[in-house]
Each structure stands twice: as C-alpha cells, then as structure tokens.
Structure 1
Amino acid sequence: MEEGAVATFAWTSVGGPLNFDTHCDGNGNSISDEKGRGLPKDEGEREADFTGNQGWFFHNRNDNDVTVVLRVRGDYVELNKVF
C-alpha cells in the first residue's frame, strides 16, 4: 500500500479464536500497529503508515486447525498469502 492509503477489512476464524498482530514494513521500516489475543473475528480500517507491506500475523494457539476468512476492500496493489 502507498502511504496514507486506506483499506477496510473483516476477518473471521473458523475452528477457534486466534492471536493476531497487524504490521507494516518496507524501505527499512517496520512497526506493529495492533495486537489481539483469543479473538474469533475483527474488522476495521488499515491506513498505511508508510509505503510498503501492510498485513496480519495470525497465531493459532488451538489444538485444531483454524481457517481464516479475510475480506479486504480499498487502496491496495495486491494481496499475498504467506505461510
């Protein structure tokens, strides 16, 4: 995303709650914006603090598999899934 660009999002975990960390990185910069623990879903807006990658780290602390359903709309160039 470009600096100042905004994207709305909603995610839901199917199979159990998740911990998450929203972050942005690029051009030698890296920051963590928000963290959550044990949540089954979240929604809101992401505004790019600077030009670079914007996203989520999800951590499954459950004993079972969890599927994340992510919906994003707004000013972003591409959406990548990284494991």
Structure 2
Amino acid sequence: MLEWLVAWWDGVELWLVQLPYPVQVILVMAVLLPLSWGLARVIDRGVDGLGAKLTRVRDAEPPVGRRDGEDRKGTAA
C-alpha cells in the first residue's frame, strides 16, 4: 500500500547520503530549522490559548506580554 512512499524515501535518503557532508548539513538546517521553529511556535500558541481558557480569570488573554510595563518581579521596567 505504501510501497511508493518507501521507494521515494529510499531515493531521497540515497541522494542525501551521497552528497558531500557540508551540503548535507546545509540542507538539513535549511529544512529542520524553519520546521522546528514553526512547530515550536504552534505548540507555544496552543499552550498559551489552553492556559487562557483554563484560567479562573474571565476574559483572560494568552500571556504574550504584560501591558502594565512591569517585569515578573513587580517592578517597573
């Protein structure tokens, strides 16, 4: 059923391992860095949204930043 996917992946893998090492590193970074950054952003937004929904404070917004200009210790920035 998924033989075409396995064959395609084997071809990509064979092509990648035959490249010089610096080119492999550049290709992996060009694909993995944006993918990882995007996934981390989605997870962060999801956790913030879920935290805002589960809080006891009505109409809470996700904790993207403080509006009053205070840092975490309660002093003015």
What's the TM-score bracket when you normalise by the shorter of the two chains? under 0.3
- Scaled by the length of structure 2, what TM-score is found? 0.21
Q: Which has the higher helix share?
A: 2
Q: Which has the higher contact order (CA 8 A, sep 6+)?
A: 1
Q: Which has the higher strand share?
A: 1
- Scaled by the length of structure 1, what TM-score is found? 0.20
